Structure 1
Amino acid sequence: MLKLIPYQKCYAVEVSMLAHISICGISEDVYCEEEKSAWSFAPRSAYHWHKRLSKSQTWLVVDDKRIESDKAFCCGFINLETQFESRGYIDSLYVHPAYQRRGIASQLYTALEQWARQQKFDELSVDASKVSKPLFESMGFKVRHRSYQEKRGVVIMGYYMLKGLI
């Protein structure tokens, strides 16, 4: 059974692997091998992900029918920046390839938006990948402009998107 839970440090290693596997699993028609390798040439450390996610509001979806290391398997996560200068910025959204197309990204986003509305955020923003752009559009986001991120000397194109919450 899939459950939505708040981030816990014990999932940092799984989050690291999940992000890397998700990026590597993107179709070559969307991002070429060079772009995917620049984006994630290897899993980032659990320390990196824990530090990043513990400084933001983060939700996980776990599969409690699949137990690994005495805990449910993490199959997706999303996090929202809450600091003043980046408040309302969706930093990450990843779903394990084996769990995609099951509504997990929508479930994660819905929890995030509900929380942001309760906190009285004015708007949400995201640098959406080519993969996540359709999801964010379906949730009411509008493209503000294309965005470009340089990673390991490779420029990766995405979309800076906004959604007002007021």
Structure 2
Amino acid sequence: MEIRVYQESDCEETIQLFRETVVAITSKDYTASQISVWAGDRKIIEPTKWNQSLLANQSIVMMEKNQLVGFADMASSGYLDRLYVHKEYQGMGIARKLVQELEGLVKSDRYSTHASITARPFFERMGYRVVKENDVRLDNEVLRNYIMEKEIIR
């Protein structure tokens, strides 16, 4: 497996991986209606805007034999925006490697993210702590997530 910088040509594949991962992985923590809103079933994810946001951040992808198996992006502020791993590659250390790579590329005294209920235990293992519970309204659904931070002592 190799990590490389996100390219514009990865846009559609990252959208597909995002949608499939949300649907397949989060069902124990969110309702079908919440997942539908989150994964974009009720709205169209605009590829141009998605691509621009990934290009604006430090964005990386993990590839296995020309297949996208994960991707993540982090703003220069240290905010980790997206972190998704293919449903068939869960538990293989890909998310950990992606986060470690971004934390190495983006120098900050504090990293932060909005972690889903599903992702919270992973981020806790990575040294992030919950700052507060957060409810996000998408359409008519409310999705719980956690604002989490990791402080770096240098």
Query: How does the TM-score come out when normalised to structure 1?
Result: 0.86
CA contact (8 A) 1:15 1:49 kept: no
Asked if residue 60 in structure 1 is aligned to residue 61 in structure 2, the reply is yes
Aligned match of 2:52? 51
CA contact (8 A) 2:131 2:148 kept: yes
Secondary structure, aligned partner of 2:132: strand
1:1-166 equivalences under 5 Å are 2-42=1-41, 44-64=45-65, 72-82=66-76, 87-116=77-106, 119=107, 121-166=108-153
Query: How does the TM-score come out when normalised to structure 2?
Result: 0.92
What displacement does 1:10 show?
0.9
User: Deviating runs (4+, > 4 A) in structure 1?
Assistant: none
Alpha-carbon distance between aligned partners in 2 of 1:158 and 1:131, rounded to the nearest angstrom: 9
| Structure 2 unmatched ranges of 5 or more | none
Q: 1:27 to 1:55 in 2, by over 3 A?
A: closer
Q: 1:10 to 1:37 in 2, by over 3 A?
A: same
Q: 1:106 to 1:152 in 2, by over 3 A?
A: same
Query: What is the aligned residue count?
Result: 151
Alpha-carbon distance between aligned partners in 2 of 1:81 and 1:148, rounded to the nearest angstrom: 22
Q: Residue by residue, what CA displacement relative to the aligned partner does 1:70-117 show, whole Å, maximum 9, x if unpaired? A: xx11110110012xxxx111100001101111111011011011122x
Alpha-carbon distance between aligned partners in 2 of 1:94 and 1:125, rounded to the nearest angstrom: 16
Alpha-carbon distance between aligned partners in 1 of 2:27 and 2:101, rounded to the nearest angstrom: 31
Alpha-carbon distance between aligned partners in 1 of 2:33 and 2:94, rounded to the nearest angstrom: 28
What displacement does 1:26 show?
2.4
| Structure 1 unmatched ranges of 5 or more | 65-71
What displacement does 1:17 show?
0.4
CA contact (8 A) 1:16 1:45 kept: no
CA contact (8 A) 2:26 2:118 kept: no
